[in-house]
Amino acid sequence: MKNKNFIIFFTVLWISKCAFSYDELSFTAENFRLGDNPAKDSSIYTLTTNPAGLWNIKVTEIFISYHILYPNLTDKTKFLNNTAGLSFKFLNSGIGFSFNQFGIEEWYIRDKIIISYGRILKEKSKYAFGIKFFYDKEKYYLDEYMIQNPVFLSGNEKGYFSLSLGGLYIFDQQNYFGLTIENINQPDTGFYTKELLPLVLNFGYRYKNERLKIYPSVKFDLSTKKDYITNLAFEYDFIVFDKIKLSPSFCGSYGSRDLIRAVLGFSIQTKLVDISYCFGLDLMNKLDFGGQHYISLNYRFVPIDIKEEKVSKEEYDFLMKEKLKLEQQIEELKKQIEEQKVLKEKILEKPQPTETQILPTSGYLEELLERLKKLEDKLKEKTNMQQQPTKTQQSLSVPSLQNTTPKKRYHKVLEGDTLPKLAEKYYGDPSLWKKIYNVNKDKIIRGQLIPGVELEIP
Protein backbone atom coordinates (compact mmCIF):
# COMPACT_ATOMS: atom_id res chain seq x y z
CA MET A 1 0.00 0.00 0.00
CA LYS A 2 2.83 2.36 0.89
CA ASN A 3 4.50 1.65 -2.46
CA LYS A 4 1.30 2.62 -4.27
CA ASN A 5 1.02 5.81 -2.24
CA PHE A 6 4.65 6.55 -2.96
CA ILE A 7 4.14 6.17 -6.73
CA ILE A 8 0.98 8.28 -6.79
CA PHE A 9 2.56 10.97 -4.61
CA PHE A 10 5.54 11.44 -6.90
CA THR A 11 3.28 11.22 -9.96
CA VAL A 12 1.35 14.18 -8.54
CA LEU A 13 4.59 16.11 -7.93
CA TRP A 14 5.81 15.33 -11.45
CA ILE A 15 2.56 16.45 -13.06
CA SER A 16 2.35 19.66 -11.02
CA LYS A 17 5.99 20.43 -11.85
CA CYS A 18 5.36 19.94 -15.58
CA ALA A 19 2.24 22.11 -15.32
CA PHE A 20 4.33 25.03 -14.12
CA SER A 21 7.45 24.58 -16.21
CA TYR A 22 8.09 24.84 -19.92
CA ASP A 23 4.63 23.55 -20.93
CA GLU A 24 1.91 25.39 -19.06
CA LEU A 25 -1.44 23.66 -19.30
CA SER A 26 -3.80 24.64 -22.08
CA PHE A 27 -7.11 25.61 -20.55
CA THR A 28 -9.42 24.99 -23.52
CA ALA A 29 -9.73 22.76 -26.53
CA GLU A 30 -9.44 25.83 -28.75
CA ASN A 31 -6.04 26.72 -27.29
CA PHE A 32 -4.77 23.15 -27.20
CA ARG A 33 -5.65 22.25 -30.78
CA LEU A 34 -3.90 25.35 -32.16
CA GLY A 35 -0.78 24.99 -30.05
CA ASP A 36 -1.60 27.75 -27.53
CA ASN A 37 -0.62 30.24 -30.22
CA PRO A 38 -0.35 33.80 -28.85
CA ALA A 39 -1.20 35.33 -32.24
CA LYS A 40 -4.73 33.95 -32.17
CA ASP A 41 -7.20 36.82 -31.94
CA SER A 42 -10.89 37.67 -31.81
CA SER A 43 -11.77 34.94 -29.33
CA ILE A 44 -12.75 34.67 -25.70
CA TYR A 45 -10.14 31.93 -25.40
CA THR A 46 -7.31 34.48 -25.70
CA LEU A 47 -7.96 35.62 -22.12
CA THR A 48 -6.16 32.47 -20.89
CA THR A 49 -3.24 32.85 -23.34
CA ASN A 50 -2.58 36.25 -24.93
CA PRO A 51 -4.82 38.90 -23.29
CA ALA A 52 -4.08 41.35 -26.14
CA GLY A 53 -6.52 39.32 -28.26
CA LEU A 54 -9.38 40.69 -26.18
CA TRP A 55 -9.12 44.04 -28.01
CA ASN A 56 -11.29 42.66 -30.81
CA ILE A 57 -14.05 41.11 -28.67
CA LYS A 58 -17.31 42.20 -30.31
CA VAL A 59 -20.00 40.77 -28.01
CA THR A 60 -20.32 39.25 -24.54
CA GLU A 61 -19.31 35.57 -24.53
CA ILE A 62 -19.12 32.75 -22.00
CA PHE A 63 -17.41 29.37 -22.28
CA ILE A 64 -16.92 26.14 -20.39
CA SER A 65 -14.28 23.51 -21.09
CA TYR A 66 -14.04 19.89 -19.93
CA HIS A 67 -10.91 17.77 -20.22
CA ILE A 68 -10.24 14.06 -19.84
CA LEU A 69 -6.58 13.28 -19.18
CA TYR A 70 -5.06 9.79 -19.29
CA PRO A 71 -8.33 7.83 -18.99
CA ASN A 72 -6.68 4.39 -19.17
CA LEU A 73 -4.39 4.52 -16.13
CA THR A 74 -4.35 1.09 -14.46
CA ASP A 75 -4.85 2.49 -10.95
CA LYS A 76 -8.03 4.33 -12.06
CA THR A 77 -6.59 7.70 -11.06
CA LYS A 78 -8.97 10.50 -12.07
CA PHE A 79 -7.58 13.81 -13.33
CA LEU A 80 -9.44 17.13 -13.26
CA ASN A 81 -8.87 19.98 -15.69
CA ASN A 82 -11.98 22.12 -16.17
CA THR A 83 -12.43 25.77 -17.06
CA ALA A 84 -15.17 28.42 -17.21
CA GLY A 85 -14.80 31.95 -18.55
CA LEU A 86 -16.53 35.21 -19.43
CA SER A 87 -15.47 38.09 -21.67
CA PHE A 88 -17.16 41.33 -22.70
CA LYS A 89 -16.45 44.58 -24.48
CA PHE A 90 -15.82 47.62 -22.28
CA LEU A 91 -15.47 50.97 -24.12
CA ASN A 92 -12.68 50.35 -26.65
CA SER A 93 -11.24 47.42 -24.69
CA GLY A 94 -12.01 43.81 -23.75
CA ILE A 95 -12.12 42.28 -20.27
CA GLY A 96 -12.17 38.59 -19.36
CA PHE A 97 -12.49 36.40 -16.27
CA SER A 98 -11.67 32.70 -16.05
CA PHE A 99 -11.55 29.94 -13.44
CA ASN A 100 -9.60 26.71 -13.95
CA GLN A 101 -9.31 23.68 -11.68
CA PHE A 102 -6.62 21.10 -12.27
CA GLY A 103 -5.65 18.13 -10.15
CA ILE A 104 -6.03 14.52 -9.13
CA GLU A 105 -9.05 13.59 -7.06
CA GLU A 106 -8.31 13.23 -3.33
CA TRP A 107 -4.59 13.97 -3.84
CA TYR A 108 -3.87 17.36 -5.38
CA ILE A 109 -5.94 20.37 -6.50
CA ARG A 110 -4.82 23.61 -8.11
CA ASP A 111 -7.35 26.45 -8.53
CA LYS A 112 -6.43 29.28 -10.91
CA ILE A 113 -8.35 32.56 -11.23
CA ILE A 114 -7.47 34.72 -14.25
CA ILE A 115 -8.35 38.35 -14.94
CA SER A 116 -7.35 39.65 -18.39
CA TYR A 117 -7.54 43.03 -20.09
CA GLY A 118 -6.75 43.88 -23.71
CA ARG A 119 -7.05 46.90 -25.96
CA ILE A 120 -5.66 48.44 -29.11
CA LEU A 121 -3.35 51.41 -28.52
CA LYS A 122 -5.46 53.80 -30.56
CA GLU A 123 -8.01 53.69 -33.35
CA LYS A 124 -6.63 52.09 -36.52
CA SER A 125 -3.36 51.30 -34.73
CA LYS A 126 -1.38 48.18 -35.62
CA TYR A 127 -0.53 47.47 -31.99
CA ALA A 128 -2.66 45.81 -29.31
CA PHE A 129 -1.53 45.00 -25.80
CA GLY A 130 -2.92 43.11 -22.83
CA ILE A 131 -2.23 42.30 -19.20
CA LYS A 132 -3.18 39.16 -17.29
CA PHE A 133 -3.32 38.66 -13.52
CA PHE A 134 -3.82 35.26 -12.01
CA TYR A 135 -4.06 33.80 -8.55
CA ASP A 136 -3.05 30.19 -7.95
CA LYS A 137 -3.90 28.11 -4.92
CA GLU A 138 -2.39 24.62 -4.58
CA LYS A 139 -3.45 22.03 -2.03
CA TYR A 140 -2.26 18.49 -1.30
CA TYR A 141 -4.58 16.12 0.58
CA LEU A 142 -2.40 14.36 3.15
CA ASP A 143 -2.63 10.74 4.29
CA GLU A 144 -0.56 9.03 6.99
CA TYR A 145 2.33 8.45 4.61
CA MET A 146 2.42 11.98 3.21
CA ILE A 147 2.21 13.61 6.67
CA GLN A 148 5.63 12.14 7.47
CA ASN A 149 7.17 13.60 4.30
CA PRO A 150 9.45 16.65 4.96
CA VAL A 151 8.08 18.34 1.81
CA PHE A 152 5.04 19.41 3.84
CA LEU A 153 6.75 20.69 6.96
CA SER A 154 5.49 24.21 6.16
CA GLY A 155 1.95 23.09 5.31
CA ASN A 156 0.04 21.53 2.46
CA GLU A 157 -1.55 24.67 0.94
CA LYS A 158 0.06 27.55 -0.90
CA GLY A 159 -1.34 30.56 -2.77
CA TYR A 160 0.41 33.17 -4.91
CA PHE A 161 -0.20 35.89 -7.52
CA SER A 162 1.52 36.26 -10.88
CA LEU A 163 1.50 38.71 -13.77
CA SER A 164 1.79 38.24 -17.55
CA LEU A 165 1.87 40.62 -20.51
CA GLY A 166 0.76 40.09 -24.10
CA GLY A 167 1.02 41.98 -27.36
CA LEU A 168 -0.14 41.77 -30.97
CA TYR A 169 1.25 43.40 -34.09
CA ILE A 170 -1.46 43.56 -36.74
CA PHE A 171 0.08 43.62 -40.22
CA ASP A 172 -3.39 43.39 -41.78
CA GLN A 173 -6.49 41.22 -41.48
CA GLN A 174 -4.55 38.22 -42.78
CA ASN A 175 -1.33 38.50 -40.74
CA TYR A 176 -0.81 38.79 -36.98
CA PHE A 177 2.30 38.51 -34.83
CA GLY A 178 1.91 37.78 -31.10
CA LEU A 179 4.13 37.77 -28.03
CA THR A 180 3.46 36.88 -24.40
CA ILE A 181 5.71 37.20 -21.38
CA GLU A 182 4.45 34.81 -18.71
CA ASN A 183 5.09 34.96 -14.95
CA ILE A 184 6.95 38.26 -14.86
CA ASN A 185 7.16 38.45 -11.08
CA GLN A 186 8.10 34.73 -10.68
CA PRO A 187 6.52 33.99 -7.27
CA ASP A 188 7.80 31.28 -4.94
CA THR A 189 5.74 28.13 -5.58
CA GLY A 190 7.67 25.54 -3.57
CA PHE A 191 6.51 23.81 -0.39
CA TYR A 192 9.85 22.61 0.93
CA THR A 193 12.43 24.19 -1.38
CA LYS A 194 12.19 27.66 -2.86
CA GLU A 195 10.99 27.04 -6.40
CA LEU A 196 10.12 29.92 -8.72
CA LEU A 197 7.48 29.92 -11.39
CA PRO A 198 9.56 30.04 -14.61
CA LEU A 199 9.61 33.12 -16.82
CA VAL A 200 8.31 32.10 -20.26
CA LEU A 201 8.45 33.86 -23.64
CA ASN A 202 5.97 32.75 -26.28
CA PHE A 203 6.20 33.97 -29.89
CA GLY A 204 3.49 33.24 -32.43
CA TYR A 205 2.37 34.12 -35.94
CA ARG A 206 -0.97 33.74 -37.68
CA TYR A 207 -1.42 33.67 -41.44
CA LYS A 208 -4.90 33.57 -42.93
CA ASN A 209 -5.57 33.02 -46.61
CA GLU A 210 -9.21 32.67 -47.56
CA ARG A 211 -10.26 29.74 -45.35
CA LEU A 212 -6.83 28.37 -44.44
CA LYS A 213 -5.09 29.51 -41.25
CA ILE A 214 -1.53 28.62 -40.23
CA TYR A 215 -0.21 29.10 -36.69
CA PRO A 216 3.54 28.61 -36.07
CA SER A 217 4.84 29.40 -32.58
CA VAL A 218 7.80 28.85 -30.27
CA LYS A 219 7.93 28.98 -26.46
CA PHE A 220 11.06 29.42 -24.30
CA ASP A 221 11.46 28.81 -20.58
CA LEU A 222 14.02 31.44 -19.54
CA SER A 223 14.46 30.14 -16.00
CA THR A 224 16.40 27.05 -17.12
CA LYS A 225 17.62 28.23 -20.56
CA LYS A 226 17.04 24.71 -21.77
CA ASP A 227 13.34 24.15 -22.26
CA TYR A 228 11.49 25.07 -25.43
CA ILE A 229 8.45 24.03 -27.45
CA THR A 230 7.78 24.62 -31.14
CA ASN A 231 4.27 24.27 -32.56
CA LEU A 232 2.88 24.29 -36.07
CA ALA A 233 -0.91 24.25 -36.41
CA PHE A 234 -3.21 24.25 -39.42
CA GLU A 235 -6.92 25.05 -39.55
CA TYR A 236 -9.29 25.05 -42.52
CA ASP A 237 -12.85 26.39 -42.65
CA PHE A 238 -15.72 24.66 -44.43
CA ILE A 239 -19.09 26.41 -44.71
CA VAL A 240 -21.99 23.96 -44.37
CA PHE A 241 -25.58 24.92 -45.28
CA ASP A 242 -24.48 28.60 -45.22
CA LYS A 243 -25.09 28.58 -41.45
CA ILE A 244 -22.38 26.38 -39.95
CA LYS A 245 -18.60 26.69 -40.09
CA LEU A 246 -16.70 23.41 -39.65
CA SER A 247 -12.97 23.85 -39.00
CA PRO A 248 -10.77 20.74 -38.69
CA SER A 249 -7.26 21.31 -37.39
CA PHE A 250 -3.93 19.62 -36.77
CA CYS A 251 -1.10 20.69 -34.49
CA GLY A 252 2.35 19.14 -34.20
CA SER A 253 4.66 19.99 -31.29
CA TYR A 254 8.33 19.31 -30.73
CA GLY A 255 10.40 20.37 -27.75
CA SER A 256 12.95 19.60 -25.09
CA ARG A 257 12.45 16.75 -22.59
CA ASP A 258 11.68 14.49 -25.56
CA LEU A 259 8.38 16.20 -26.26
CA ILE A 260 6.69 15.04 -29.47
CA ARG A 261 2.97 15.69 -29.53
CA ALA A 262 0.25 15.36 -32.14
CA VAL A 263 -3.18 16.97 -31.75
CA LEU A 264 -6.19 16.38 -34.00
CA GLY A 265 -9.30 18.47 -33.51
CA PHE A 266 -12.17 20.41 -34.98
CA SER A 267 -14.54 23.24 -34.13
CA ILE A 268 -18.16 23.78 -35.15
CA GLN A 269 -19.29 27.40 -35.20
CA THR A 270 -22.76 28.86 -35.59
CA LYS A 271 -23.93 32.44 -35.11
CA LEU A 272 -24.33 31.90 -31.36
CA VAL A 273 -22.50 28.72 -30.34
CA ASP A 274 -19.01 27.26 -30.87
CA ILE A 275 -18.02 23.70 -30.00
CA SER A 276 -14.36 22.62 -30.07
CA TYR A 277 -12.90 19.16 -29.55
CA CYS A 278 -9.40 17.77 -29.83
CA PHE A 279 -7.42 14.68 -29.01
CA GLY A 280 -3.77 15.03 -28.03
CA LEU A 281 -1.17 12.31 -27.74
CA ASP A 282 2.34 12.75 -26.28
CA LEU A 283 4.22 10.24 -28.38
CA MET A 284 7.29 10.04 -26.11
CA ASN A 285 5.46 10.10 -22.75
CA LYS A 286 5.22 6.65 -21.22
CA LEU A 287 2.62 7.91 -18.75
CA ASP A 288 0.33 9.09 -21.54
CA PHE A 289 -2.23 6.29 -21.44
CA GLY A 290 -5.32 7.06 -23.45
CA GLY A 291 -4.17 10.51 -24.55
CA GLN A 292 -5.78 13.82 -23.66
CA HIS A 293 -9.32 14.78 -24.67
CA TYR A 294 -10.46 18.41 -24.64
CA ILE A 295 -13.94 19.75 -25.37
CA SER A 296 -15.09 23.38 -25.09
CA LEU A 297 -18.46 25.09 -25.49
CA ASN A 298 -18.69 28.82 -26.21
CA TYR A 299 -21.88 30.92 -26.26
CA ARG A 300 -22.35 34.48 -27.60
CA PHE A 301 -25.18 36.66 -26.35
CA VAL A 302 -25.45 38.41 -29.74
CA PRO A 303 -25.29 36.47 -33.04
CA ILE A 304 -22.42 37.16 -35.43
CA ASP A 305 -21.98 36.33 -39.10
CA ILE A 306 -19.86 33.26 -39.81
CA LYS A 307 -19.67 33.63 -43.58
CA GLU A 308 -18.11 36.38 -45.66
CA GLU A 309 -20.32 37.01 -48.68
CA LYS A 310 -18.24 36.98 -51.85
CA VAL A 311 -18.88 39.08 -54.95
CA SER A 312 -17.67 38.37 -58.47
CA LYS A 313 -15.00 40.63 -59.96
CA GLU A 314 -17.29 41.54 -62.87
CA GLU A 315 -20.13 42.66 -60.59
CA TYR A 316 -17.74 44.57 -58.35
CA ASP A 317 -16.13 46.35 -61.33
CA PHE A 318 -19.56 47.37 -62.64
CA LEU A 319 -20.60 48.81 -59.27
CA MET A 320 -17.27 50.61 -58.96
CA LYS A 321 -17.66 52.24 -62.40
CA GLU A 322 -21.14 53.46 -61.48
CA LYS A 323 -19.82 54.85 -58.23
CA LEU A 324 -16.90 56.63 -59.94
CA LYS A 325 -19.30 58.23 -62.46
CA LEU A 326 -21.45 59.59 -59.65
CA GLU A 327 -18.41 60.90 -57.80
CA GLN A 328 -17.22 62.72 -60.92
CA GLN A 329 -20.67 64.30 -61.40
CA ILE A 330 -20.67 65.43 -57.78
CA GLU A 331 -17.20 66.98 -58.10
CA GLU A 332 -18.24 68.86 -61.26
CA LEU A 333 -21.34 70.14 -59.52
CA LYS A 334 -19.30 71.32 -56.56
CA LYS A 335 -17.00 73.23 -58.88
CA GLN A 336 -19.95 74.93 -60.55
CA ILE A 337 -21.40 75.93 -57.18
CA GLU A 338 -18.03 77.32 -56.12
CA GLU A 339 -17.83 79.35 -59.35
CA GLN A 340 -21.34 80.63 -58.68
CA LYS A 341 -20.27 81.75 -55.23
CA VAL A 342 -17.27 83.68 -56.61
CA LEU A 343 -19.47 85.30 -59.23
CA LYS A 344 -22.01 86.36 -56.61
CA GLU A 345 -19.28 87.94 -54.50
CA LYS A 346 -18.09 89.99 -57.48
CA ILE A 347 -21.63 91.17 -58.19
CA LEU A 348 -22.09 92.25 -54.57
CA GLU A 349 -18.80 94.16 -54.58
CA LYS A 350 -19.59 96.11 -57.81
CA PRO A 351 -23.11 95.85 -59.22
CA GLN A 352 -23.13 95.71 -63.00
CA PRO A 353 -25.25 94.10 -65.70
CA THR A 354 -24.15 90.55 -66.34
CA GLU A 355 -25.49 87.32 -67.64
CA THR A 356 -25.63 84.65 -64.97
CA GLN A 357 -25.48 81.01 -65.84
CA ILE A 358 -28.39 78.89 -64.65
CA LEU A 359 -26.81 76.11 -62.58
CA PRO A 360 -28.26 72.97 -61.07
CA THR A 361 -29.78 73.52 -57.66
CA SER A 362 -28.51 71.95 -54.44
CA GLY A 363 -31.49 69.62 -54.63
CA TYR A 364 -29.93 67.99 -57.67
CA LEU A 365 -26.71 67.55 -55.73
CA GLU A 366 -28.64 65.95 -52.89
CA GLU A 367 -30.15 63.52 -55.36
CA LEU A 368 -26.69 62.56 -56.66
CA LEU A 369 -25.39 62.14 -53.13
CA GLU A 370 -28.33 59.92 -52.24
CA ARG A 371 -27.64 57.74 -55.28
CA LEU A 372 -23.98 57.54 -54.32
CA LYS A 373 -24.86 56.52 -50.77
CA LYS A 374 -27.11 53.73 -52.04
CA LEU A 375 -24.30 52.45 -54.28
CA GLU A 376 -21.83 52.52 -51.38
CA ASP A 377 -24.28 50.61 -49.20
CA LYS A 378 -24.71 48.03 -51.95
CA LEU A 379 -20.94 47.65 -52.29
CA LYS A 380 -20.56 47.13 -48.55
CA GLU A 381 -23.39 44.62 -48.51
CA LYS A 382 -21.90 42.69 -51.42
CA THR A 383 -18.26 42.63 -50.42
CA ASN A 384 -18.60 42.54 -46.60
CA MET A 385 -14.99 43.67 -46.52
CA GLN A 386 -14.95 45.11 -42.99
CA GLN A 387 -14.35 42.24 -40.49
CA GLN A 388 -14.48 44.41 -37.36
CA PRO A 389 -16.65 47.26 -36.14
CA THR A 390 -15.48 50.66 -37.34
CA LYS A 391 -16.84 54.13 -36.82
CA THR A 392 -19.47 55.13 -39.34
CA GLN A 393 -17.94 57.19 -42.10
CA GLN A 394 -19.02 60.79 -42.16
CA SER A 395 -21.76 61.33 -44.69
CA LEU A 396 -21.23 63.77 -47.53
CA SER A 397 -22.84 67.15 -46.88
CA VAL A 398 -24.38 69.37 -49.52
CA PRO A 399 -21.98 72.26 -50.18
CA SER A 400 -23.57 75.67 -49.88
CA LEU A 401 -22.66 79.03 -51.35
CA GLN A 402 -21.14 80.00 -47.99
CA ASN A 403 -18.69 77.05 -47.72
CA THR A 404 -15.70 76.22 -49.86
CA THR A 405 -14.76 72.65 -50.77
CA PRO A 406 -11.14 71.60 -50.00
CA LYS A 407 -9.20 70.27 -52.97
CA LYS A 408 -8.39 66.57 -52.96
CA ARG A 409 -5.62 64.60 -54.60
CA TYR A 410 -6.40 61.59 -56.74
CA HIS A 411 -4.32 58.88 -58.34
CA LYS A 412 -5.43 56.73 -61.25
CA VAL A 413 -4.20 53.16 -60.66
CA LEU A 414 -1.74 51.80 -63.23
CA GLU A 415 -0.52 48.26 -63.80
CA GLY A 416 2.03 47.33 -61.15
CA ASP A 417 0.85 49.91 -58.60
CA THR A 418 0.75 48.80 -54.96
CA LEU A 419 -0.24 50.62 -51.77
CA PRO A 420 3.36 50.77 -50.44
CA LYS A 421 4.54 52.20 -53.80
CA LEU A 422 1.86 54.90 -53.68
CA ALA A 423 2.72 55.73 -50.07
CA GLU A 424 6.38 56.14 -51.02
CA LYS A 425 5.46 58.32 -54.00
CA TYR A 426 3.17 60.72 -52.11
CA TYR A 427 4.58 60.58 -48.58
CA GLY A 428 8.13 59.36 -49.02
CA ASP A 429 7.46 56.45 -46.64
CA PRO A 430 6.06 53.09 -47.90
CA SER A 431 4.98 52.12 -44.36
CA LEU A 432 2.24 54.81 -44.50
CA TRP A 433 0.26 52.78 -47.06
CA LYS A 434 -2.65 52.33 -44.61
CA LYS A 435 -3.50 56.07 -44.85
CA ILE A 436 -4.42 55.50 -48.50
CA TYR A 437 -6.12 52.17 -47.74
CA ASN A 438 -8.36 53.58 -44.98
CA VAL A 439 -10.05 56.14 -47.29
CA ASN A 440 -10.31 53.79 -50.27
CA LYS A 441 -11.45 50.50 -48.68
CA ASP A 442 -14.45 50.18 -50.97
CA LYS A 443 -12.22 50.48 -54.07
CA ILE A 444 -9.75 47.76 -53.10
CA ILE A 445 -10.49 44.05 -53.38
CA ARG A 446 -8.65 41.90 -50.84
CA GLY A 447 -5.68 44.27 -50.85
CA GLN A 448 -5.38 44.36 -54.65
CA LEU A 449 -5.53 47.60 -56.68
CA ILE A 450 -7.68 47.63 -59.82
CA PRO A 451 -6.08 49.37 -62.83
CA GLY A 452 -8.15 52.35 -63.93
CA VAL A 453 -9.69 53.02 -60.52
CA GLU A 454 -9.11 56.51 -59.15
CA LEU A 455 -7.90 56.54 -55.53
CA GLU A 456 -8.14 59.47 -53.16
CA ILE A 457 -4.76 60.46 -51.67
CA PRO A 458 -5.38 61.99 -48.20
CB within 8 Å of 313: residues ≥ 6 apart:
445
> End-to-end distance of the chain based on CA atoms, in angstroms?
79
CB within 8 Å of 134: residues ≥ 6 apart:
112, 113, 114, 115, 161, 162, 164
Please, what's the b/e burial string for 56-83 (b: 16 or more CB within 10 A of its CB; e: otherwise)? bbeeebbbebbbbbbeeeeeebebbbeb
> Which domains are assigned to the chain?
2-300 (2.40.160.60), 308-403 (no CATH), 408-458 (3.10.450.350)
> Do 171 and 197 meet the contact criterion of CB atoms below 8 Å apart?
no
Residue 128 CA to residue 110 CA, distance in Å, equals: 31
CB within 8 Å of 111: residues ≥ 6 apart:
99, 100, 101, 136, 137
Q: What does DSSP say about strands 228-236 and 238-240: parallel, antiparallel, or unpaired?
A: unpaired
Backbone angles phi, psi at 309, to 5 degrees: -70, 130
Q: Each residue's pLDDT tens digit in the chain (458 positions)? A: 445 554 444 444 444 444 333 345 678 888 889 988 999 876 788 998 899 999 888 889 999 998 877 666 655 667 788 999 999 998 888 999 999 998 887 788 999 999 999 998 887 788 999 999 999 998 888 877 777 777 777 788 888 999 999 999 988 878 999 999 998 988 888 777 778 888 889 999 999 887 899 999 999 888 766 788 999 999 999 888 778 999 999 999 998 878 889 999 999 999 899 999 999 888 876 665 667 889 999 999 888 877 654 445 556 566 777 777 777 778 777 777 777 777 666 666 655 444 444 444 555 666 667 777 777 776 666 554 444 443 333 333 334 434 444 567 888 888 778 888 888 888 878 878 888 888 887 787 766 788 888 888 88
Comparing CA positions, the residue from 300, 388, 276, 272 lying closest to residue 61 is 300
